[in-house]
Structures are given as structure tokens and as C-alpha cells.
Structure 1
Amino acid sequence: MRTFGSSLLLVLAALLATATAQFGFFDQMFGGGGGGQQQRQQPQNVPSDSSIYRQNFDSFTCDNYLCPDTLACVHFPHHCPCPFPAQEDKFETVDGHRLCVSRGGFKAGEAARKVELARKGML
């Protein structure tokens, strides 16, 4: 009787392992998130107050000018980098300001042409 019980237990364990492997495969194939992969967490909304930004801004030290949007330490405000350099072109104005203009959908050099037209008051 004892061998029957241990054999039955062994068969049940094997069936359970097979079922787990089978359904784990289907979960992985059809997006169930199984198979040992980490599941992605939904992004969390950030609070609407600026306390996180202020904490970061206050914790940085800069002997010259701390850029308010990128927190880069530069010698002059117009040397600040654009926050999204892959999507923006940077222009420095004659009065020491920096402009970051979106490249979105423009041809190469189109943003510079539009900035120049705006400087001349033609846009």
C-alpha cells in the first residue's frame, strides 16, 4: 500500500509539472506574462506640485549658472543645452537668450530658416 501511495504522489507531481509547463508556454505566447519574465508596471502619474523639482534644484551646486530646465551647470544662460536635443535644435540669440525649436516634421535647416525669418519680423 505504501508503494501505491508514493507512486500516486509521483504521478500527480509529474502531471502538475506538465500542466504548469504547458500553460506557462501559452501564457508566454499570448501575453500572459508567464515564463519568468518581469511584468511591466504601469507608469505612475507624478504629483502636480513642484516639490520634487525644487528638491533636485536645491540639491545641485553650481558656481556659475544652473539651467532651470536641464539642471546643467554652464557659464552663461545661453549655453544651456536643450532638454530634448534629439528632437530640438538650439539657437542662441544676440541678446544672450537660448531658443530650443522642435525639429518635428521640418526639413534639415528648416527650423533655422524659420528662426531667422522670425528675427527679421517676417514670420
Structure 2
Amino acid sequence: MELIHYLTTLLLLVLPATAQFQFFEHMFGGQQQQQAQPQNAGSDSAWYQQQYEAAHCDKYLCPHTLSCVHFAHHCPCAFPAVEDKVEFGDGSMVCVSKGGWAEGETARKIELARKGLL
């Protein structure tokens, strides 16, 4: 009889502790579960196409930044810290990587290339 009393007491002490540890294990995701790793962007253009099609613009939607502007040559560069914007006389523009040259040097070199001098 004393053994049954001892086992009952032991069981009453162990069960709540086990339940408590299971609660914390579920709450914090268990010890075996690892942190979720970010996934690489897809290698196709489906995400971009969805964003482009979902963008609302009643003027001109810039293809590189999805900005809504009045005219194509008003589009901003996607990375202005490392790109220079060059506007052409025909209303178009291009963003070109800065080459470490002096201010305006990129536009001058593009104009020389357009004229076949570079």
C-alpha cells in the first residue's frame, strides 16, 4: 500500500512538470526546429509581371521603378546612388552606372557615342 502511495505522489509531481515542458516546447517551436531561412528570389519574371500589372497609373508607368510619371523621360533611376540619368532629345532616357568620372561625364560620353565619336 505504501508503494502505491509513493508512486501516486511521484506521478502527481512528474505529470505537471512534463506538461509544462511540452507547453514551452510548443510555444518556442521545439529544440529541433531551426530558424526559417529566407528564400532566393525566383529566376523568372512572374513576380515582376504581377507587380507591373497590379500597378495603377493613368499616365506613364516606368518599367524599371514602377513609378507613375507624366512622361517617359521623367522616370527616376532605380539606384540613383550608383546611376546617372541621361535624357535624350526624343523624350526617352536611360540610367547608366556611374563610372567614377566627374559630374556630367556619363552624359557627355553617351552623347559622343551617339555621334560615333567614341
Matching residue of 2:94: 99
Deviates more, 1:94-103 or 1:64-73: 94-103
Match of 1:84 among 50, 70, 79: 79
TM-score if structure 1 supplies the norm length? 0.60
User: Residue 56 in 1 paired to residue 51 in 2?
Assistant: yes
Q: CA deviation digits over 1:79-104, x for unaligned, max 9? A: 11111111111111011110111113
Unaligned runs of 5+ residues in structure 2 are 1-35
Q: CA deviation at 1:42?
A: 6.0
Bigger radius of gyration, 1 or 2?
2
- Partner amino acid for 2:76? P
TM-score if structure 2 supplies the norm length? 0.62
- Partner amino acid for 2:56? T
The percent identity for this pair of structures is: 63
Aligned residues: 84
- Cα distance between partner residues in 1 of 2:50 and 2:104: 38
- Partner amino acid for 2:71? F
- Partner amino acid for 2:63? P
Unaligned runs of 5+ residues in structure 1 are 1-40
Structure 1 runs, 4 residues or longer, greater than 4 Å off: none
RMSD between aligned residues: 2.0
Q: Structure 1 43/111 Cα, relative in aligned 2: closer, same or farther at 3 Å? A: farther
Matching residue of 1:117: 112
